[in-house]
Every structure is written in structure tokens, then in C-alpha cells.
């Protein structure tokens, strides 16, 4: 993760840039002058709108300036990497160390295909903390939340001297990423955890509920409302209406997984609207009005139409992403970690850094049951020590979706 690794790997070809506008900016050309300080943050948390791209250097791949296509300012930046580059990377050196403790950086991002943009903050000794986001293709340029995916133990977040932004190529294929609006988002001082289950599988009631009751935790069950069974006699492996009632009586939130859990990008806008509206109506009529405010995207997939419709129908939408999140910057796609492999590590990171981590599971069976029980025991110990708190989506919506920066 150290900058000297990237510098050693960068070649003259990799550092070549191209531009759709001002040639001096996109190449990241440097001068003998000291680099300019960061602006802001302004009222919206923005610290760099890429108006002066001369403050950045291109270490790998290519960078282009795109005029008249921006979320803030007048232009955005297009990063491109192919199989030869492996990654596109730009870096901004800071003339004086900057305090990034308690905040997460973010970007407005657009991409044609699913991509994972990366922001890394380096201190003067080359130690880094890494932030990532998961962004699905076919969406307009818009802010997204970045979570903490790695941190070196010696990293000094109060003395950050470099900011790196990167995107990794997908095998031999070229990867392009358009970005704008480098901004800061505050993280809650305390570590918060939200527990979620997607899809309505019957094992959520049979396996997850007893474990969470043992520790006094509640969770959110996102269910495909058309597939909920009226009674155990009906075919299928989804929960029954009475099982949902038991979850609700235990303090769970019952939310939407759309009407039948179909992938929204595979549907037209009218079908998407029906899937989202019908599920909310069912939940409200069944007495789950509190959970009817929240939706989880089936398989985490969305497109621009789905994002717009979710914004019109729900208070919060949840998608796949990373742990240790800051406040909500895009309420239609707040990240959580789906079927986590190393949940204990993520919980420890959340306890150390603060922020919000969502753990989302599907059905529990086989070894997954034992792993879930181990994770909940670990979470219970951290809660007992006062290092973490378990919250529901209502707390995220009411307390952490109103402000950024």
C-alpha cells in the first residue's frame, strides 16, 4: 500500500495523459511551485471539484477532462485503465499535513460497468488507510459512500500528506471511471452495527431469530412480499405470514425486497415501479409501516431508473458495499457487507474507527449457521464492552441521513 511501490511500477507510458480540454491539467504536470492547499470543505463537504487538475499527477493509466459534465463545478475527470495498465491512478500531494480523523472521503462516480473506485490517504511515513465503494454501471454521476477496506496500524489520520484515487482494470478489459466532487463525510464517533437479512428465506426465522433473541439483538428482514406464504402448507421456502409476525414481535423491522425479488435492471421502468410500490403497499397493509420505508435491491443490482423510483418510494435503499461507513450521502443506495467472510475483523475495525457497518445475510444453513453464531457472540462481547451498538435502519434514516461533511 506504500506510495513508493506505485512509483516504482509507474512507467513513462503509464504516466501519459490525454485531455478533452485543457492539456496542462489532465497530464498532471508538476512544477517547482508548492502544490496548492485543499479548498474547503464547503457547506456540502466538497474539498476538490477538479477545476484545477494541475494539482494532481497521473501515476498510472490515463486521465481526461470532461467539460460540461459535472456534479459540481464545470468538468469531471475520466480515468481509464486497460490490461497493460492494471490500474489508473492519480495522486494529489498536500503542502501541509491535513487532519482526516473522524471523516471518510467520497466521490461522485459514474461508470458504464460495475467498478470499485478506491481512495487512499497516506501519511508522511507512507502508511495508508484505504476506502472503497461499489458502483454499478449505467448510472449518472452521483455521490456514493466509501467504506474503510484497509488501514495500516501506524497510519496517522491527523497527518495526511497525499490523496490517491484509483480504479483497477478488469482482467484484459479496459475500465473507465468518471469522477467528480471529492468530498468529506463525517463518521459517527461510536461504532454502529445494523443486521439485515435479504430474500425472506425460512431459515431466517428458524436459525437467525433464536440466536439474536439469545443476545437481545434485532435485525431487518427484507422480504419479497408476493412470495410470503399464507401458511406452512403452501409450497416454497420463504417465511410465512405468521413467522413474519413473530419477527416483528421480537423487535425486527420488516422491509421490502420488492414484490418478487426480480433483478430491477432487467425490468422496464413501469415494471420496476410496480415491484417497488406493490411491496410497500403490502407491508403497510400488513402492519409493517415502519419497515415499509426501507428497501434492499435484489442481488444488490440497480440502474438509473431504479434509483429514481426508490427515491420516490422509500426513505432508504440498501445495496452491497463496504464496512465502516459515514453518514448517508445517497439515501437510495447505502452500503452494507453481504454474506461477510471476515465479519469479526469488520466489527473490530468499526469499534476502532467509529462509523456504521451493515452485515447482511441470506439464508443460513450448514457451516453458515455456526459462523453466524460465532459472529453474534463476538458482537455481543463488543456491545457489552461499550465498543459497538446495534441499530436498525430507522436510526440510520433519522440520525445519519441528514448531513454530510
Total domains in the fold of the chain = 2
The percentage of the chain sitting over the pLDDT mark of 70, rounded to a whole number, equals 89
Residue 405 lies in a domain: no
DSSP string covering 107-121, please?
EEEE-SS-B--EEEE
State how far the Cα of 85 lies from the Cα of 122, in Å rounded to an integer. 22
- 23 pLDDT more than 50: no
- Quote the CA–CA distance of 107 and 180 in Å, as a whole number: 6
Burial of 320 (0-12, 13-18, 19+ CB in 10 A): buried
Tell whether 361 is covered by a domain.
yes
Is 179 in the same domain as 304? no
- Same domain as 367, residue 282: yes
The verdict on 149 and 237 lying in the same domain is: no
Is 62 within 8 Å of 15 (Cβ atoms)?
no
* Mean pLDDT in residue range 237-246: 96
306 assigned to some structural domain: yes
Residue 10 domain boundaries: 3-183
Domain endpoint, select from 183, 218, 245: 183
Q: Higher model confidence: residue 14 or residue 394?
A: 394
Does the residue 129 lie in any domain? yes
Cis peptide bond prior to 229, omega within 30° of 0: no
Is 113 part of a structural domain of the chain? yes
Whether residue 147 is found in the same domain as residue 231? no
Instruction: Say yes or no: 329 and 270 in one domain.
Output: yes
| pTM given for the model | 0.90
SS3 376: helix
**183, 204, 225 - which closes a domain:** 183
Q: Are residues 286 and 336 in the same domain?
A: yes
pLDDT, tens digit (0-9, with 9 covering 90-100), for 379-391: 999 999 999 999 9
Do 152 and 262 belong to one domain? Answer: no
Q: Are residues 175 and 249 in the same domain?
A: no
Do 258 and 207 share a structural domain? yes
pLDDT in tens, 162-173: 999 999 876 666
Instruction: Report the residue count for the chain.
Output: 405
Which of 165, 183, 201 finishes a domain? Answer: 183
* pLDDT (tens digit per residue) in 28-69: 444 456 788 888 899 999 999 998 899 999 999 999 899 888
Distance CA 366, CA 234 (A): 24
Do 69 and 176 fall within a single domain?
A: yes
Is the same domain home to 151 and 29?
yes
Q: Is residue 171 part of a domain?
A: yes
pLDDT (tens digit, 9 = 90+) per residue, 100-142?
Answer: 999 999 999 999 888 999 999 999 999 999 999 999 988 889 9
CATH number where 139 lies: 2.60.120.260
CATH of the domain at 279: 3.20.20.370
Q: Is residue 286 part of a domain?
A: yes
Q: Edge-to-edge strand order for the sheet containing 56-60?
A: 56-60, 87-98, 160-168, 118-123, 128-132, 147-151
Residue 27 makes CB contacts below 8 A (sequence gap 6+) with 16, 17, 19, 58, 63
Amino acid at each position: 500500500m506504500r506510495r513508493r511501490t506505485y512509483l516504482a511500477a509507474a512507467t513513462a507510458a503509464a504516466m501519459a495523459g490525454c485531455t478533452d480540454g485543457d492539456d496542462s491539467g489532465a497530464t498532471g504536470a508538476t512544477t517547482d511551485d508548492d502544490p496548492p492547499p485543499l479548498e474547503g470543505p464547503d457547506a456540502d463537504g466538497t474539498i476538490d471539484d477538479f477545476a484545477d487538475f494541475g494539482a494532481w499527477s497521473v501515476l498510472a493509466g490515463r486521465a481526461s477532462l470532461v467539460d460540461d459534465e459535472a456534479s459540481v463545478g464545470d468538468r469531471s475527470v475520466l480515468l481509464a485503465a486497460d490490461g497493460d495498465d492494471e490500474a489508473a491512478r492519480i495522486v494529489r500531494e498536500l503542502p501541509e499535513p491535513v487532519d482526516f480523523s473522524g471523516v471518510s472521503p467520497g466521490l461522485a462516480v459514474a461508470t458504464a460497468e460495475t467498478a470499485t473506485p478506491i481512495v487512499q490517504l497516506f501519511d508522511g511515513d507512507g502508511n495508508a488507510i484505504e476506502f472503497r465503494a461499489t458502483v454499478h454501471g449505467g448510472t449518472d454521476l452521483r455521490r456514493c459512500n466509501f467504506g474503510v477496506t484497509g488501514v495500516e496500524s501506524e497510519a496517522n489520520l491527523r497527518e495526511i500528506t497525499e490523496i490517491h484515487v484509483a480504479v483497477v482494470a478488469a482482467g484484459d478489459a479496459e475500465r473507465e471511471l468518471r469522477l467528480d466532487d471529492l468530498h468529506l463525510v463525517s463518521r459517527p464517533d461510536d461504532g454502529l452495527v445494523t443486521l439485515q437479512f435479504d430474500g425472506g428465506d425460512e431459515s431466517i426465522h428458524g436459525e437467525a431469530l433464536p440466536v439474536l433473541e439469545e443476545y437481545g439483538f434485532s435485525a431487518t428482514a427484507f422480504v419479497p412480499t408476493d412470495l410470503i406464504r399464507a401458511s406452512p402448507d403452501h409450497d416454497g421456502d420463504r417465511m410465512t405470514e405468521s413467522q413474519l409476525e413473530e419477527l416483528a414481535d421480537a423487535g425486527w423491522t420488516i422491509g421490502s425486497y420488492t414484490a418478487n425479488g426480480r433483478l430491477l435492471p432487467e425490468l422496464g421502468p413501469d415494471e420496476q415501479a410496480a415491484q417497488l410500490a406493490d411491496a410497500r403497499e403490502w407491508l403497510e397493509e400488513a402492519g409493517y409501516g415502519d419497515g415499509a420505508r426501507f428497501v434492499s435491491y435484489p442481488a444488490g443490482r440497480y440502474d438509473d431508473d431504479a434509483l429514481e423510483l426508490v427515491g420516490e418510494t422509500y426513505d432508504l435503499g440498501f445495496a452491497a458495499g463496504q464496512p465502516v461507513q459515514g453518514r448517508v450521502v445517497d439515501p437510495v443506495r447505502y452500503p452494507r457487507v453481504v454474506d461477510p467472510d471476515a465479519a469479526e475483523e469488520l466489527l473490530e475495525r468499526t469499534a476502532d474507527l467509529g462509523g456504521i457497518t451493515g452485515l447482511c445475510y441470506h439464508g443460513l444453513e450448514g457451516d453458515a449457521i455456526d459462523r453466524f453464531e460465532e459472529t453474534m457472540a463476538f458482537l455481543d462481547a463488543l456491545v457489552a464492552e461499550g465498543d459497538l451498538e446495534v441499530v436498525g435502519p430507522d436510526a440510520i434514516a433519522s440520525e445519519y441521513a441528514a448531513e454530510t461533511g
